[in-house]
Structure 1
Amino acid sequence: MYNLKTKAYKGGRFFLACIGLFMVSSCVFRPNYTRPPVNVPEKWRLPVHEACGLANIYWWQQLGDPVLEALIIEALKNNYTLQAAMASVEAYYSQFRATNSQLFPQITGDGSALRQGLSAQSNLGLAQNLRLINSFSALLSCAYELDIWGRLGSASDVALAQYLGEIQARRTVILTLVSALANSYITLRQYDEQLQVAQQTLNSFQESLELMTDQWEQGESSELPITQASAERDTAASLVKQLEVNVAQQENLLCILLGRNPGNIRRGKILEELAQPPSIPAGLPSDVLEQRPDVMQAELNLIAAHANVGVAKANLFPRISLTGYYGNESFALNTLFKGAACAWQVGTTFSEQIFNGDSILLN
């Protein structure tokens, strides 16, 4: 006799077992990161407000050259290396979202309309005397992996640390780009001044040579001073040519940083007009050390490696999932959405690799 109470009791036990599995889903192998001790100064050498200001300034603005600031803004928009770094950040963010989504139930909708030819010797064909059958279904299925061993949580931690580390890598590219562009611009202005002085020297030697040539033609001097003046003029001319090459090379370097084709670079203030930025004091506390993107990226890489240990340990244990579906199944389309066509299933699955050539252990 059908015992509804017994079935309800068994169903309740199964439901409680599923709830128990869900409640014991804990980070068993999800390691907690502890920052290694770092020996840093305990206080500033400058007053706190002044030191903090120095740590957070846009130092290139302290030079007071609007042309340099405009070039830096252009480089931040157009530099190819920076664009690649920004694209890498977006890729790591997408990877983090994809990894983190595994922590949530995976719900899918499935539908089918099939026509099947049965063998006359099959059980269904013999019993029903059928050779052709139709089947229709519209189901909503759900699967949820219980993160009992902390594998999914640790994998999410790895992806998050890698994403944040890539943000710091982008900051490193920005700081390196700005520093390289500012240094190249200042070097260009130095070459400009050297070229100006060399051109003036060349003009002076040329005037001296012309004067001595006139004196020699009038018989007032020998040919030796002319030879000496000509050699000095040629030396000055070669220096001018070399400085012109240096200026062109420096402009090409700036164009590369700006993401341009080689060409001329607009000039701003001369070196004497540039303001001297304040010097950053040595021995800064840890909060300034932590603002360095390379230091922050190194720590985030350490965090990712630390969390990856939890993933490796959890991979040694079975993966347990809750699965189920709910929907309608029928042999006729006109009865697919009637009450009698309702179908459902709920249960648990687990999988454990028996042999994998030690790939998990070696990982």
Structure 2
Amino acid sequence: MIACSSGCVLTQDLPDPALDIPRGYKSAGPLVPDAPPPLDWWRGFRSGELTDLMEEAQKVNLDIAAAVARFVQADAQARIAGAALLPTLSASGPGNLAQESYSRVSGSSLNGLSTGGREVVNYNTALSASYILDFWGQNRDALQAADETAVANRFDRDVVALTTLTSVANAYFQVLASQDRIRTAERNIASATRILDAIRQRFKAGTGTDLDVAQQESVLANQRAAVPPLRQTLDQNINALALLVSRPPESLHVTGGSMDQIVTPRVAPGLPSELLTQRPDIRRQEAQLASATANVGSARAQFFPSIQLTGGGGYQSSALTSLIQPHAAFFNLVASVNQPIFDGGAILGNFELSKAKQDELLQDYRKAVVSAFSDVDNALVSVKQTTEKLRLQGVVVAASLRAFQLSEQQLRAGTADIVTVLNTQLTLFQAEDALWQAKLARLLAFVSLYQALGGGWEPRTEKPVNAL
């Protein structure tokens, strides 16, 4: 296969996908040509635990192992298809190449006297060969189709591996987010309890009402009720990580930590034309399209006659001692031509079926390319907007915290309106939780960008500069 200028990978008879490759991504910022995504892209988040989980998943994940088994099967199918291009040889005789055959000649009657029968022993050894001339390329196309299918299965393994790694990263960041949100919820519970104690003191002093107490108790109960779903999410994502590294949940311990400890890497998306060689799903579609094209050639060759050559030779003798002698030698050569005349339309139907499959895969290939560009643009938009959302949410939290602190001070001084206290603490609690969700969304956006770019890229090689 060769790579055409537009980025598509074609064989000699492969239809041109005729795609318009954009010069750049709509949502990309200034290009950084020397910073492509590294092969071990997850190290950019600077989490040792995440790196360990990623490396373990690559080794033991069951989906990846199944994908490897599929491309081993495809390799075996390619060897089977390639066998038709070679002659078949067979030798007669068990073990020692000399085979004995027995025959009995019945007796006859002469002048009323009977003559007994006799046994005749023939010894023979022979070698036979058969070869089908691949004049029309049927077997060569079948081999090429099998080879391209094997290539497609290798890229399928890469697709599974990339999906597995992004699933590990997403689940791990969900674990961190759950831990952060649980800590914030527990801190908010402590704050709500402190405010409740202050309101109760006002109620005992006669400056508050029972309604004020009930309202704050409702706030506190809501904060406590928010914790169990967060713990459920935490446990479920730890269990998801255990599945991804092929372990029972009981044997996996995840320390976690905080999203504040995660570094957001700098990712350069490169050019759209480079994406066609980096995304394993696009490469898989290319290989499947090439395989379908080869199958069309093989189906077309069935319209033409097949030519088969067979030959055999060896020795045959009734005496083992004279078996390997010139007079005991024999040979035969046969050439046969088989031309289909009427088959009820089976060959034509098979050809049309192959053409239709080729056209289907061509459209799938086009869709995969267009979807890849869309995936990258969507991921770039997500990174940009989640970054802005995180910045703005930080402003919200800072203002909400200041308002809550002021209302609490006024509450203790006996000058605050209870409604104001309730509003400020609810606003703060919601803002802090939304801040963690914004941080999670930003991390997941970076993971989506890596996935849209096809994972890590091979390092670029610098072109040598000719000395003057």
Instruction: Check conservation: 1:108, 1:141, Cα contact below 8 A.
Output: yes
Instruction: Check conservation: 1:31, 1:310, Cα contact below 8 A.
Output: no
Please give the per-residue CA displacement for 1:19-60, whole angstroms capped at 9, x wherever unaligned.
xxxxxxxxxxx9633543432245899999x42641554321
Higher alpha-carbon deviation: 109-118 or 164-173? 109-118
Amino acid at match of 2:279: R
List aligned pairs for 1:61-100, cutoff 5 A.
61-100=43-82
Q: 2:129 aligns with which of 142, 156, 159?
A: 142
- Pair 1:349-2:331 in alignment: no
Amino acid at match of 1:248: D
Q: Secondary structure at the match of 2:136?
A: coil
Amino acid at match of 2:20: N
Q: Secondary structure at the match of 2:312?
A: strand
**How many angstroms does 1:343 deviate by?**
2.5
Give me the whole-angstrom Cα distance separating, in 1, the residues matched to 2:285 and 2:200.
69
Once superposed, what is the RMSD of the aligned Cα atoms? 3.2
Higher alpha-carbon deviation: 227-236 or 59-68? 227-236
**How many angstroms does 1:272 deviate by?**
1.8
Q: 1:296 aligns with which of 283, 286, 298?
A: 283
Amino acid at match of 2:344: G
Q: Secondary structure at the match of 2:17?
A: coil
**How many angstroms does 1:354 deviate by?**
4.5
Runs of at least 5 residues in structure 2 that lack an aligned partner in the other structure: 1-10, 94-98, 109-115, 351-468
Q: Secondary structure at the match of 1:51?
A: coil
Give me the whole-angstrom Cα distance separating, in 2, the residues matched to 1:195 and 1:295.
41
Instruction: Check conservation: 1:159, 1:304, Cα contact below 8 A.
Output: yes
- Distance 1:219-1:135 versus aligned 2 partners, 3 A rule: farther
Provide the residue aligned with 1:27 in structure 2: none
Give me the whole-angstrom Cα distance separating, in 2, the residues matched to 1:250 and 1:208.
34
Question: How many aligned residue pairs are there?
Answer: 325
Instruction: Check conservation: 1:144, 1:322, Cα contact below 8 A.
Output: yes
**How many angstroms does 1:83 deviate by?**
1.2
Provide the residue aligned with 2:145 in structure 1: 158
Provide the residue aligned with 1:195 in structure 2: 182
Give me the whole-angstrom Cα distance separating, in 2, the residues matched to 1:77 and 1:205.
47
Q: Secondary structure at the match of 2:92?
A: strand
% of aligned pairs identical? 27
- Pair 1:114-2:80 in alignment: no
- Distance 1:304-1:207 versus aligned 2 partners, 3 A rule: same
List aligned pairs for 1:121-270, cutoff 5 A.
132-209=119-196, 223-263=210-250, 264-268=252-256, 270=258
**How many angstroms does 1:277 deviate by?**
1.8
Q: 2:268 aligns with which of 280, 283, 291?
A: 280
Under a length normalisation based on structure 2, what TM-score does the superposition of the two structures give?
Answer: 0.62
Please give the per-residue CA displacement for 1:249-301, whole angstroms capped at 9, x wherever unaligned.
1112222222222245423553122221223347x142332221111111211
Please give the per-residue CA displacement for 1:110-155, whole angstroms capped at 9, x wherever unaligned.
224333456889xxxxxxx966443333222222211101101111
Give me the whole-angstrom Cα distance separating, in 1, the residues matched to 2:77 and 2:129.
23
Higher alpha-carbon deviation: 231-240 or 211-220? 211-220
- Distance 1:65-1:56 versus aligned 2 partners, 3 A rule: closer
Q: Secondary structure at the match of 1:337?
A: coil
Runs of at least 5 residues in structure 1 that lack an aligned partner in the other structure: 1-29, 122-128
- Pair 1:36-2:24 in alignment: no
- Distance 1:271-1:294 versus aligned 2 partners, 3 A rule: same
Give me the whole-angstrom Cα distance separating, in 2, the residues matched to 1:118 and 1:198.
103
Higher alpha-carbon deviation: 312-321 or 189-198? 312-321
Give me the whole-angstrom Cα distance separating, in 2, the residues matched to 1:222 and 1:67.
51
- Distance 1:42-1:225 versus aligned 2 partners, 3 A rule: closer
- Distance 1:120-1:218 versus aligned 2 partners, 3 A rule: farther
- Distance 1:145-1:31 versus aligned 2 partners, 3 A rule: farther
Please give the per-residue CA displacement for 1:48-103, whole angstroms capped at 9, x wherever unaligned.
9x426415543212111121111111111222211111110000011111111221
Instruction: Check conservation: 2:314, 2:329, Cα contact below 8 A.
Output: yes
Give me the whole-angstrom Cα distance separating, in 1, the residues matched to 2:16 and 2:153.
19
Give me the whole-angstrom Cα distance separating, in 2, the residues matched to 1:37 and 1:205.
63
**How many angstroms does 1:341 deviate by?**
2.8
Under a length normalisation based on structure 1, what TM-score does the superposition of the two structures give?
Answer: 0.78
Give me the whole-angstrom Cα distance separating, in 1, the residues matched to 2:23 and 2:183.
50
**How many angstroms does 1:225 deviate by?**
4.4
Instruction: Check conservation: 2:126, 2:315, Cα contact below 8 A.
Output: yes
Please give the per-residue CA displacement for 1:300-334, whole angstroms capped at 9, x wherever unaligned.
11111111111111112222122222322233444
Please give the per-residue CA displacement for 1:176-202, whole angstroms capped at 9, x wherever unaligned.
111121112112211110011112222
Amino acid at match of 1:272: D
Higher alpha-carbon deviation: 244-253 or 216-225? 216-225
Q: Secondary structure at the match of 1:362?
A: helix
